[in-house]
Amino acid sequence: MSTPFLNTPNLPFCKGCGHDLIAKSTAQALEKIGLNPLDVIMVTDIGCHGIIDKTLNTHTVHGLHGRSVALGAGVSFAMENTDKKVIVFLGDGGSTIGLQHIIEASRMNLNLTIVIHNNMLYGMTGGQTSGLTPTGFRTTTAMEGNPFSAHDICKLTHTAGAAYVTRILGIGNIADKLAEAYSVKGCSVVEVVEICPSYGVKFNPKRKLSEIMESMGHTEGVWTNDRLAYTYPNSTKMNDLLAKLPVIEQKHTGGLDKHYQLVMTGSAGEGVQVASAILARAALSSGYQVTQKGSYPVTVGVGFSTSEVNISPEAIHYHGMASPDAILVTSLDGLNHQMKRINAMKDGLLLIDSSLEVPTTGAKVVSHDFRIAGPKNAALYSLLMFAKITGLVKRDAIIDALNDMGLGEKIPVEKIEGLLNS
C-alpha cells in the first residue's frame, strides 16, 4: 500500500534488506507526527539507501560520498520555516567517509535528523568493510573477519553535542522510535543497526543482529543533550542574501504559451554554457520562468558541453528534462552526448551543424554551418537561428542579455547576424 510519503510499496531494495524497514517506518513516522510530504526535505547519499529517492513524494536532494550531511546542513541553514523537516539518510560507508560532517552537524546542533543505515558494510559496491563494521564481522575485504573495532557513532555524536542520539535495532516496528527522533528541534542522530542479506548474511550466516550489535559493546538507547537548535542570526537569512541579487526586469515579450524544454550541446570552448546563460537571461527579461543546468566532464576544456534550459510562462517545479522540444547541436561531442534523446524525439526541432551526419529522429531538422562564425561562436549562432525560427525569445532580448552580461564587446554579433540573414 502506498502512503502519502511513498509512491509505491515496492521499494527498490534486495529482499530482506533493512533499508526497506527504515524507509517504510520513516513514512509512517512522518505521517504520525503530522507532516505533509512537501514539509519534508530528504537528502540521501551514495549507497543502496539512496535509490529510495524516486519513490519519495517529499522534496529530495541526492548527495555523494558522505557529503549529504553538508547538503542537509545547507538546507537547514537556509530554512526560514523551522516547521519544515530536513532528514539526511546515509549508510555506514557514507558515515565513515563523511564522519566530520556528522560530527560538525552534532557540534553545531543543526536542525536536522541524520539517519545512519548501519548494515555494517558497503552494500552497493560489493560488501567491503566500513568504519562501522564490527570486529570479527566478515566482509569481502576481510574474509577472516574485520580486525578493527567499529566507531561508536552514537557516542561520537552525543559527545559532540547533538540534542538527541538513538541507536535502534532494525527489526520489527521502529516507526515510533523514528517519530521521536524526527520530532526533535535540533540535531537528532539515529543509528539503525540492520543487515544486508546480499553480503552481510551471506558472509556471516546464522549470526543474529542483536548478538552482532552486542559484540561491539553497543546497546540500543537514547542519549540527549539539553540544547537549543542552532539558528542563523536574522541578518544573514538566505532570503536577505537572495535579495541582494539584481532583479531582471521584464523588458521584452516572447511567443511562448507553454513550458518549453531546450537542449544546447556541443564541445567545450564553443560557448554552449555562455549561450544558454544568454538565452536564460533573455527569457527572464521576456517575463518567463527559467531553469538552466550545465553538464560537462570534470576534465575542463575537453569533451562535450551540454546545457538544459526550461522556459515557461508558469512556475517551474521540476528542473529536469524528460523529452526536449528542441536540441541545438554544434559538434560531434554534443551529438554523441545527446544521441539517444535525438533518436527518441517524435517531433520538435533539431538544429544541427552541417558538418555532422543527421541522426535518426522524428524532429524537424535544420542543418546549417554554425561553425563558420568561428568555433567559439557556434552555440550563439545556433541560438540566434533558433530564436529566428521559433520566435520564442526575441532577437532584441538576446542582444540586451548579452550586453547586460558584459559580453557585447567580446562577441561579434553583427557578423553572426550577417551570416544569419545572408
The footprint of ligand SF4 (CB under 6 A) covers 13-14, 17, 19, 48, 119, 123-124, 196-199
Shorter beta-carbon distance to ligand SF4: residue 123 or 359: 123
Question: Measured between alpha carbons, how far is residue 402 from residues 132, 147, 308 in Å?
Answer: 53, 62, 19
Question: Measured between alpha carbons, how far is residue 322 from residues 299, 350, 354 in Å?
Answer: 26, 16, 26
Shorter beta-carbon distance to ligand SF4: residue 123 or 254: 123
Shorter beta-carbon distance to ligand SF4: residue 143 or 315: 143
Q: Cell 513514512 maps to which residue?
A: 27
Shorter beta-carbon distance to ligand SF4: residue 96 or 331: 96
| Closest C-alpha among 285, 265, 287, 284 to residue 275 | 265
The nearest distance, CB 91 to ligand SF4, in angstroms, is 8
Shorter beta-carbon distance to ligand SF4: residue 190 or 284: 190
The nearest distance, CB 48 to ligand SF4, in angstroms, is 3
Q: Report the C-alpha gap between 207 and 384 in whole angstroms.
A: 67
Burial of 8 (0-12, 13-18, 19+ CB in 10 A): exposed
Give DSSP secondary structure letters for 287-345: T-EEEEEEE--SSTTSSEEEEEEEEESS--S----SS-SEEEE-SHHHHHHHHHHHHH-
The nearest distance, CB 198 to ligand SF4, in angstroms, is 4
Shorter beta-carbon distance to ligand SF4: residue 46 or 351: 46
Give DSSP secondary structure letters for 169-202: ESSS--HHHHHHHHT-SSEEEEEEE---IIIIIH
Q: Report the C-alpha gap between 158 and 153 in whole angstroms.
A: 8
The nearest distance, CB 117 to ligand SF4, in angstroms, is 8
Shorter beta-carbon distance to ligand SF4: residue 26 or 261: 26
**Cβ neighbours around 299 below 10 Å, total:** 8
Helix (H, G, I), strand (E, B) or coil at 371: helix
The nearest distance, CB 69 to ligand SF4, in angstroms, is 20
- The residue number whose beta carbon is nearest to ligand SF4 equals 123
The nearest distance, CB 15 to ligand SF4, in angstroms, is 8
The nearest distance, CB 179 to ligand SF4, in angstroms, is 23
H, E, C per residue of 270-292: CCHHHHHHHHHHHHHCCCCEEEE
The nearest distance, CB 12 to ligand SF4, in angstroms, is 8
Shorter beta-carbon distance to ligand SF4: residue 119 or 285: 119
Burial of 396 (0-12, 13-18, 19+ CB in 10 A): middle
The nearest distance, CB 102 to ligand SF4, in angstroms, is 20
Q: Which cell numbers in the block locate residue 356?
A: 555532422
Helix (H, G, I), strand (E, B) or coil at 4: coil
- Which strand (E) or helix (H) includes residue 382? helix 378-390
The nearest distance, CB 4 to ligand SF4, in angstroms, is 24
Helix (H, G, I), strand (E, B) or coil at 420: helix
Shorter beta-carbon distance to ligand SF4: residue 14 or 316: 14
Shorter beta-carbon distance to ligand SF4: residue 90 or 349: 90
